[in-house]
Structure 1
């Protein structure tokens, strides 16, 4: 089994979520189930069924996080010395060669990817196209809406 890469920051964020689920959300849902049970007939008790469904979701997420973290390889990006090349953990600044629009992404592990936070998975088409390139390079990749061309305007590691 290969170990999935994850940044130190991503690992801390997932561990924090796991701790919150175990210490805050799990006890809260157990209390809600107990309260709903006290209301009587469980067959027609919507509060009870909703609480059990929420409990199932929380327990599933806990198992998912525990499994992911147990097989993850934490990579401290600040200790990498890739020179000017883009590698896992790089923060890249790009400019769309067609529209001139500037974007900034960090290349992270699949477990922590979140496009809303500008965190792109190392396995994504754009990240695969970026790996090994340097600032000043142009590249293209196939996006769902066609081929995109970007120029790399900056590379940093935090």
Structure 2
């Protein structure tokens, strides 16, 4: 499915962003992340949508729409929110719920502590952006380092194939959140 998001910038020209939603991709998320997505979707389709409609109506009442920055900002917000609704629905329709097992092997939904040679160890939550709760930075399984460590156990050393070259990584610890 190809998505095209077009909005009108404040100067009046149209700007667009093209992205794809891979029909066959399964999104691996924990139950907590799925629950947060469902809450966000309910808000965007309910109260959030109504707030934007009210903002558009208020801005429209101010007169000439061609010079009305408030109106264009509200329309941009509406476009962004509707894009988010489509994205979340697509994710929920193509979902694989994962449960992080405490087996010491790096995988989605787990906390991984990694170290690059000569640097301090850093802990990340391995998973999609939607897993983020604020406590840990996210390391996606699709990223070069994420791809390199998924399926490997703590104590192993792997090499990530990054655009700037090979990146050696030591998996220090793998735990469940």
The normalised TM-score by structure 1 is 0.80
Aligned to 2:173: 154
> What stretches of structure 1 move > 3 A for 4+ residues in a row?
none
Q: Distance in 2 between matches of 1:145 and 1:128?
A: 16
Q: Which runs of 5+ in 2 are unaligned?
A: 1-23
Of structures 1 and 2, the one with the larger relative CO (CA 8 A, separation 6+) is 1
**In structure 1, what is the Cα distance between the partners aligned to 2:89 and 2:139?**
22
d(CA) in 1 for partners of 2:31, 2:163:
30
> Is 2:29–2:98's contact at 8 Å kept on the other side of the alignment?
yes
Post-superposition CA distance 1:82-138 (Å, at most 9, x none): x333233221111222x23211122214x6376x84222222221221122212111
Q: Aligned residue for 2:78?
A: 55
Instruction: Check whether the contact 2:31–2:98 (CA below 8 A) recurs between aligned residues.
Output: yes
In 2, Cα distance between equivalents of 1:103 and 1:48: 44
Using the size of structure 2 for normalisation, the TM-score is: 0.73
- Asked whether the equivalents of residues 104 and 154 of structure 2 are also in contact (C-alpha less than 8 Å), the reply is yes
User: Which residue, 110, 113, 116 being the options, matches 1:93?
Assistant: 113
Taking only aligned residues, the RMSD between alpha carbons, in angstroms, comes to 2.3
Please identify which structure carries the higher helix content.
1
Contact 1:136 1:152 in 2 (8 A): yes
Distance 1:119 1:40, change over 3 A: same
Count of matched residue positions in the alignment of Structure 1 and Structure 2: 152
